[in-house]
Amino acid sequence: METSLPVAERPRRPEWMKVRAPSKDGSYFDVQKLIHGLSLHTICEEARCPNMSECWGRGTATFQILGDTCTRACRYCYVHSGKPSEPVDPLEPLRLAHAAAQMQLKHVVVTSVDRDDVPDKGAGHYAATIRAIKSKLPHASIEVLTPDFLGVEEEALRTVIGARPEVFNHNIETVRRLHRQMRGGKADYDKALWLLQRAKELADYNVLTKSGIIVGLGETNDEVVETLRDLRAHDVDVVTIGQYLQPSPKHAEIDRWVHPDEFRWFREQGEALGFGSVFSGPLVRSSYRADEQRHAAETGRGAVAY
Ligand code: SF4
């Protein structure tokens, strides 16, 4: 049975989604050499992020810990999925901290694959990574974008928050109606909201909480606003909204190209709901200019749109 649109009928990439190719100027190739030389992974490469030219050219990247194989298979995500062949590498936090120091990062963003095969779901490795970065770069802030720690949520949160990251991020990804369809049977929209609120409750310091939504998966604009409302009701401070890009023909098809005016409207809705910062734009990703997102939320500069 035919399950995808014929090529001629697929929506073509609009002008506003065009991105620059990497330039040999700037830091792009220095970042690439450092990261590959230390056998580290980045979500920038693994997810084929369209912003690599800009972010790596600025000397930043988002590290992906716990290996390169994810035990989930979300319908929108390009990260390799399957059964990880390697155990968790205990030296990865030290190599990552070394790379962050070499890059002179002031805000270090760390995410990971899901590791449902590991008893603590990778929480201890997150904590070790945060501690390694803090010891090498005591003045840098740290942002973690974590999985849902399915089945061990409370203990995992205690472990991660115990290492005191400045920003705790967990992406809700899509609206309630599409959540399970896009993320698989184990995913739980309400659990994701709970995780964000619980992280803040457990912190005995001023942690910022953050989440992200991708649009173009079949949601309506009203459903996006409903999700913004749910996030605010769970005390989330920072939100990102960006356009879904289909990474391969096996992944969910793009339902629509969201116009920049609609992204502006999302930003206004988020602003009215009281988020500290809203980054909403076609090429916005969770970690896009994460240092600026944090700064906007902390200084009360308000919502920002791109
Ligand atoms: S937006 Fe995030 S994932 Fe994409 S290149 Fe920039 S740092 Fe990497």
pLDDT band for position 298 (cuts 50, 70, 90): confident
Residue 1 pLDDT: 36
173 pLDDT higher than 70: yes
User: How far apart are alpha carbons 199 and 204 in whole angstroms?
Assistant: 10
CATH of the domain at 95: 3.20.20.70
Mean pLDDT for the chain?
A: 92
Q: Which atom of ligand 1 is nearest to the CA of 284?
A: 1
User: How far apart are alpha carbons 114 and 271 in whole angstroms?
Assistant: 32
Indicate if ligand 1 lies below 6 Å from the C-beta of 51: yes
Reading the block at residue 181, the tokens are: 């369809």
User: How far apart are alpha carbons 177 and 185 in whole angstroms?
Assistant: 13
302 pLDDT higher than 80: no
User: How far apart are alpha carbons 287 and 278 in whole angstroms?
Assistant: 13
Contacts within 8 Å (CB) and 24+ apart, 56-59:
56/22, 56/26, 56/27, 56/28, 56/31, 56/32, 57/22, 57/23, 57/25, 57/26, 57/27, 57/28, 58/26, 58/27, 59/26, 59/27, 59/30, 59/31, 59/103, 59/104, 59/105
Q: Which atom of ligand 1 is nearest to the CA of 287?
A: 2
CB atoms within 10 A of CB 260: 16
Query: What percent of the chain shows pLDDT beyond 70?
Result: 92
Provide the terminal-to-terminal Cα distance of the chain, rounded to the nearest Å: 40
Indicate if ligand 1 lies below 6 Å from the C-beta of 69: no
Cβ contacts of residue 250 below 8 Å, gap of 6+?
A: none
Residue 23 pLDDT: 64
Residue 170 pLDDT: 98
| 8 Å CB contact between 121 and 147 | yes
Q: Which domain holds residue 219?
A: 23-305
C-alpha distances out from residue 108 to 115, 185, 260, 266, Å: 21, 32, 29, 27
Predicted structure pTM score:
0.93
> How much is the average pLDDT of 184-199?
94
User: How far apart are alpha carbons 267 and 280 in whole angstroms?
Assistant: 6
Determine, yes or no, domain membership for 28.
yes
Mapping DSSP to helix (H, G, I), strand (E, B) and coil, where does residue 55 land? helix
Determine, yes or no, domain membership for 1.
no
User: How far apart are alpha carbons 35 and 68 in whole angstroms?
Assistant: 14
> How much is the average pLDDT of 247-274?
95
User: How far apart are alpha carbons 214 and 258 in whole angstroms?
Assistant: 10
Determine, yes or no, domain membership for 96.
yes
H helical segments located in the chain: 28-37, 43-46, 52-57, 92-102, 123-136, 153-162, 176-183, 189-202, 221-233, 260-273, 290-299
Determine, yes or no, domain membership for 226.
yes
8 pLDDT higher than 60: no
> How much is the average pLDDT of 171-184?
95
Determine, yes or no, domain membership for 13.
no
Mapping DSSP to helix (H, G, I), strand (E, B) and coil, where does residue 172 land? coil
- The residue nearest atom 1 of ligand 1, judged by CA position, is 288
- The owner of tokens 């989440």 is 211
5 pLDDT higher than 60: no
pLDDT band for position 11 (cuts 50, 70, 90): low
pLDDT band for position 7 (cuts 50, 70, 90): very low
> How much is the average pLDDT of 52-66?
94
Residue 87 pLDDT: 93
Residue 18 pLDDT: 81
Residue 305 pLDDT: 53
Number of domains within the chain: 1
> How much is the average pLDDT of 118-131?
98
Residue 299 pLDDT: 85
Q: Which atom of ligand 1 is nearest to the CA of 62?
A: 7
pLDDT in tens, 218-255: 999 999 999 999 999 999 999 999 999 999 999 999 99
Determine, yes or no, domain membership for 255.
yes
φ and ψ at residue 258, rounded to 5 degrees: -80, 130
- Can you say how many angstroms the Cα of residue 281 is from the centroid of all Cα atoms in its chain? 15
Determine, yes or no, domain membership for 37.
yes
- Mutate which of 27, 32, 35, 44 for ligand 1? The one with the most ligand atoms within 8 Å of its CB, which is 44
pLDDT in tens, 89-105: 999 999 999 999 999 99
Determine, yes or no, domain membership for 258.
yes
4 pLDDT higher than 50: no
